[in-house]
Amino acid sequence: MPIANGRIEAAITGVGLCAPGRDNARPIMDVMLDAIDEALADAGLTLKDIDGIATFPLRASTKNDSPIDVTELKETLGIDLNFFSGGVEGPAQFTSIFDAVGAVMSGQARHVLCYRTLAQYTQQLHDRAHPRKPSDGYERVSGKWMYHRPFDVVSPVACTAMMFRRHMHEFGTTKEQLGHLVLNTRKNAARNPRAIYRDPMTMEDYLNARMICDPLGLYDCDALLDSSTVIIVSRLDAARDTRKKPLIIESISGRVGNHYSWDQFEPKWGMMALENGPHLWTKTDFKPKDVRVANLYDGFSPQTLIWLEALGFCGHGESGAFVDGGHRIALDGELPVNTGGGQLSGGRMHGFGLLWETCIQMWGEGGERQVPGNVNVGVAAAGGGPLAGSILLRRD
């Protein structure tokens, strides 16, 4: 990634989010366009200012996991582009952000519209209404999952459950400690009008929830929904002319090391975040203690614990104690975590919602959930298992 004078000359200038919920079925392109309109207004830009588009992945194996590709969006918007990217591999969901940074730093674009759009709840409803029958036949399993399916590992939740079970064994982490993390996200979601789950939750509710994959229950899993999140990445000189104070991209990490695997990463209680997180701090003078808000991936709740350790907010094996009681990670705690409800209660926006929330907090637009004080440094992290990407933002 080209760096000028050791610094990234790029910033986030506007964000948009449209998550209509589960009872308001809408064409996914309409949802996408609403998010774009909001992001453009947020930045004080128009479509004529956008000369780049980036997303990730371009197409997933399930179409509704990535229903709108960059060329389709370009034609819908009716704009010309100097840059576009729809990668199929990369360091987690922030791949499009990293691509956009490269585009603006190399002079290919001034303002890149990055997005993550999902229609997963629509897909779930379709699958329930049209269940596969034995007479339909079955697709042959291939790729890395062919080594999992013989053991009935049909979802990353199983791999994450084994990872957390090892963490419990190694460090004495408890289900109740994990519960305090989950309860914190629900408490924050109750203050977020865009969150999908806002009803109060008790520890008893959490511990008695339907088991999904021992020791992880229903509330340890993120909530599927249809949504679109848009982040506008601008070249720093162009960002100075936008409506709001730009959030400068201080550092990014797409490091991939160790084993690219859901179940063979070493140590067995860890994941790629352990490689990625420390690398984030190698290109900045900021330290973990400087961070005022952290929105960390929670496709499954234990993943947030590992990100806390990976980013140096606590030592290895100490994340359970760090979140115990929920005081340190509360809105008024030393490190407010997943302030909009994360993906567990806010909804699964595949990491982009976490970056959106970090921006909202740093612009002081959190409303009832706003973190107090000067939120001038924030971090967002995305990815579980072998996927990992992290971004450090600063506001001058």
d(CA 332, CA 12) in angstroms, rounded, equals: 25
- The reported pLDDT for the residue numbered 1 is 38
Q: Which residue, among 225, 243, 283, 249, has the nearest Cα to 358 in the 3D structure?
A: 249
- The reported pLDDT for the residue numbered 208 is 97
Strands of the sheet containing 377-382, edge to edge, are 83-86, 52-55, 111-119, 226-235, 10-18, 247-253, 389-394, 377-382, 293-296
Lowest mean pLDDT among 112-116, 154-158, 318-322, 326-330: 154-158
- The reported pLDDT for the residue numbered 143 is 76
pLDDT in tens, 227-261: 999 999 999 999 988 999 999 999 999 999 999 98
d(CA 383, CA 389) in angstroms, rounded, equals: 6
d(CA 355, CA 252) in angstroms, rounded, equals: 13
d(CA 84, CA 74) in angstroms, rounded, equals: 9
- The reported pLDDT for the residue numbered 174 is 98
Predicted confidence band at 89 (pLDDT cuts at 50, 70, 90)? confident
Predicted confidence band at 19 (pLDDT cuts at 50, 70, 90)? confident
Q: Which residue has the higher pLDDT, 6 or 67?
A: 67
Lowest mean pLDDT among 22-26, 80-84, 246-250: 22-26
d(CA 264, CA 68) in angstroms, rounded, equals: 33
- The reported pLDDT for the residue numbered 154 is 79
pLDDT in tens, 99-136: 999 999 999 999 999 999 998 777 766 666 667 766 66
pLDDT in tens, 176-190: 999 999 999 999 999
Mean pLDDT of 143-165: 86
Distance in angstroms between the alpha carbons of the first and the last residue of the chain: 23
Backbone angles phi and psi of 235, in degrees to 5: -65, 145
Averaged confidence pLDDT in the chain: 92
Q: Which residue, among 336, 301, 300, 341, has the nearest Cα to 196 in the 3D structure?
A: 341
Q: Which residues contact 65 (CB under 8 A, 6 or more apart)?
A: 118, 119, 120, 123
pTM metric for this prediction: 0.94
pLDDT above 70 covers a percentage of the chain that reads 92
Whether the pLDDT of residue 5 is over 60: the answer is no
Whether the pLDDT of residue 3 is over 50: the answer is no
Return the DSSP state at 364.
T
pLDDT in tens, 330-369: 999 999 999 999 999 999 998 999 999 999 999 999 999 9
DSSP strand pairing (52-55 vs 83-86): parallel
pLDDT in tens, 188-200: 999 999 999 999 9
pLDDT in tens, 258-271: 999 888 899 999 99
Q: Which residue has the higher pLDDT, 21 or 155?
A: 155
Whether the pLDDT of residue 24 is over 80: the answer is no
Give CA separation, 368 vs 202, 323, 376, in Å.
Answer: 21, 22, 18
d(CA 238, CA 12) in angstroms, rounded, equals: 11
Fill in the amino acid letter for 226: D
- The reported pLDDT for the residue numbered 8 is 93
Lowest mean pLDDT among 92-101, 145-154, 318-327, 337-346: 145-154
Given its phi and psi angles, is residue 68 left (phi above 0), alpha (psi -120 to 50 degrees) or beta? beta
Q: Encoding tokens for residue 304?
A: 């947030």
In three-state secondary structure terms, 393 is strand
Whether the pLDDT of residue 2 is over 50: the answer is no
Backbone angles phi and psi of 22, in degrees to 5: -100, -10
Mean pLDDT of 65-94: 91
Range list of H helices, the chain: 28-43, 70-77, 95-105, 120-129, 156-171, 175-189, 203-207, 236-239, 273-280, 302-310, 319-323, 342-345, 352-362
d(CA 303, CA 295) in angstroms, rounded, equals: 12
